[in-house]
Amino acid sequence: MSVFDLTIAGAARALRAREISAVELAAAYNAAVEALNPRLNAYITPTPELALEQARAADRRLAGGGATPLTGIPIAMKDLFCTEGVRTTAASKILGNFVPPYESTVSARLKAAGAVMLGKANLDEFAMGSSNLTSAFGPVESPWKRHGAEARLAPGGSSGGSAAAVAARIALAATGTDTGGSIRQPAAFTGIAGIKPTYGRCSRFGVVAFASSLDQPGPMARNVEDNALMLSVMSGFDEKDSTSADRAVPDFTQALHRSVKGLKIGVPAEYRLEGTNPEILALWEQGIAWLRAEGAEIRDISLPHTKYGLPAYYIIAPAEASSNLARYDGVRYGLRVEGEDLIDLYERTRAEGFGAEVKRRILIGTYVLSHGYYDAYYLKAQKIRSLILRDFTDAFMEVDAILTPTAPSAAFGLDETMTDPLTMYLNDVFTVPASLAGVPAMSVPAGLSAAGLPLGLQVIGRHFDEETVFTVAAALERAAQFSALPQVRAE
């Protein structure tokens, strides 16, 4: 067995038993990053020296007492979290040389728990995308291959660097952010687990904003237990984020051992979409059968406004993005391209600093917020959002959790680039409704496609009931026994 086979829980035990030191663990992971990152491009900025420094501090803490389950655990930080003194790019040219003078709350909490940061993980530019193809630092390659094929595959997005790093075992776990699916879809594509917590559970302070009413940080890790360990540390009230929830944070690991017996699990009719890969529908049936076998009660439910979720999301998210991204003007920080006057400076900076997808979103967002279109698009989308929330509220009167597939297909090829942005947007069809409603949702690896690629199942829960999500996810994980590993990985 190598150190790369260890989960967080396993590594924490080994660290505490002094079978391995945090410095040894960090050095092994640093070497693996150095060997595999040139190919995978999962990290924009590896931070090997910082990792060793933090590992030395972790060893002192492990020796002196006061260690937490994350002390000495090497993780990747999505490059959307501001990290004091470490370049934070949001995978955009416009922040290409931005070194934040402060730390995001979530990364600060992980740091305080003693986690070791291996580097800043690649993503779609400003977290806009489902493929990692929009990064200004080049795409991430998935460590997975189809059987007998060499085509390079997408790790999903936007947290694709985080997902590829965890799957290829060049990070033990990672942070992600999820606005419309960016934790869950890449987790599904790469055979790992990831949870988007309830909106407000993890602070957004210091996370580069995309769509503020939807953005939510969360963990990505090899299994459900490691997610629970990460989330217990990442969560909690933060007075620096006005939408952060003042709620007690349970020890999420306690939920893993509860039985699903007697739980009511909803299966929404509207998620049986035409065009969904039959393998995915079959896996969904399998998931239903697994939970039923464990004593859960399966109920057919309806989420009637599901089909409006995607169009509403692709109005609300760009609207908020167009407003959030107005701050990148070349004056205060980030890229500056000089111009003849102030307006010219703004225009040149933004024209050069933003990539095509980000510009598309700013244009759409500005359009739907403009006079004469506001009522027709933005206001309408907000009304739909209320209806979608009501769908979930009604459903949760009858059931304790909802089971769906995570994505409508397995990973697609990097070179089978989708030229049509709409096709790419369709990838989020199963993840976006939970984002609009703000409810927690988790993807668990549940099987392989005929071509040998991972497929995920999604568990959706009530607001602030991540515990039931973890209980159901853990039951699925036990039944699925997913143990496949990608072809490219640290050994």
Residue entry with tokens 């559970």: 201
Interface with ligand GLN (CB under 6 A), residue from 51, 90, 94, 127: 127
Interface with ligand GLN (CB under 6 A), residue from 317, 410, 473, 488: 317
What is the per-residue DSSP string for 92-156? -GGGTT---SS--HHHHHHHHTT-EEEEEEP-SGGG--SSSTT-TT-PPPPS---TT----B---
The contact pattern for ligand GLN, residues 1-40, with x = CB under 6 A and - = no contact, is ----------------------------------------
Interface with ligand GLN (CB under 6 A), residue from 130, 132, 349, 409: 130
Q: Three-class SS of residue 426?
A: helix
Residues 6+ apart with CB under 8 A from 223: 7, 193, 477
Please confirm, yes or no, whether 196 is among the known catalytic residues: no
Interface with ligand GLN (CB under 6 A), residue from 71, 92, 179, 406: 179
Residue 77 Cβ vs ligand GLN, minimum distance, rounded to whole Å: 16
Residue entry with tokens 């070497």: 31
Tokens representing 102 are: 């402060």
Interface with ligand GLN (CB under 6 A), residue from 46, 143, 161, 181: 181
Interface with ligand GLN (CB under 6 A), residue from 26, 70, 115, 128: 128
Task: Pick the stretch among 98-106, 125-133, 141-149, 449-457 that binds ligand GLN (CB under 6 A).
Answer: 125-133
Which CB sits closer to ligand GLN, 135 or 471? Answer: 135
Per the DSSP assignment, residues forming a β-bridge with 45 are 120
Please confirm, yes or no, whether 145 is among the known catalytic residues: no
> Which positions from 418 through 477 interact with ligand GLN, judged by CB under 6 A?
428
Terminus-to-terminus CA distance in the chain, angstroms? 9
Please confirm, yes or no, whether 182 is among the known catalytic residues: yes
**Contact between 74 and ligand GLN (CB under 6 A)?**
no
Residue 469 Cβ vs ligand GLN, minimum distance, rounded to whole Å: 18
**Contact between 232 and ligand GLN (CB under 6 A)?**
no
Residues 6+ apart with CB under 8 A from 413: 151, 152, 153, 154
Task: Pick the stretch among 91-99, 123-131, 342-350, 389-397 that binds ligand GLN (CB under 6 A).
Answer: 123-131
Task: Check if the beta carbon of residue 93 is closer than 8 Å to that of residue 353.
Answer: yes
Q: How far apart are CA 317 and CA 290, in angstroms?
A: 35
**Contact between 180 and ligand GLN (CB under 6 A)?**
yes
Burial of 64: CB neighbours in 10 Å, binned 0-12, 13-18, 19+: exposed
Task: Pick the stretch among 126-134, 295-303, 362-370, 415-423 that binds ligand GLN (CB under 6 A).
Answer: 126-134
Q: How far apart are CA 156 and CA 139, in angstroms?
A: 10
CA dihedral 269, 275, 279, 285 (to 10 degrees): 10
Which CB sits closer to ligand GLN, 124 or 465? Answer: 124
Task: Check if the beta carbon of residue 28 is closer than 8 Å to that of residue 94.
Answer: no
**Contact between 322 and ligand GLN (CB under 6 A)?**
no
**Contact between 158 and ligand GLN (CB under 6 A)?**
yes
Residue 131 Cβ vs ligand GLN, minimum distance, rounded to whole Å: 8
Residue entry with tokens 């090497």: 74
Contacts with ligand GLN by CB under 6 A: the residue count is 13
Binding site for ligand GLN (CB under 6 A): 127-130, 158, 178-182, 210, 317, 428
Q: What residues are labeled active site?
A: 78, 158, 182
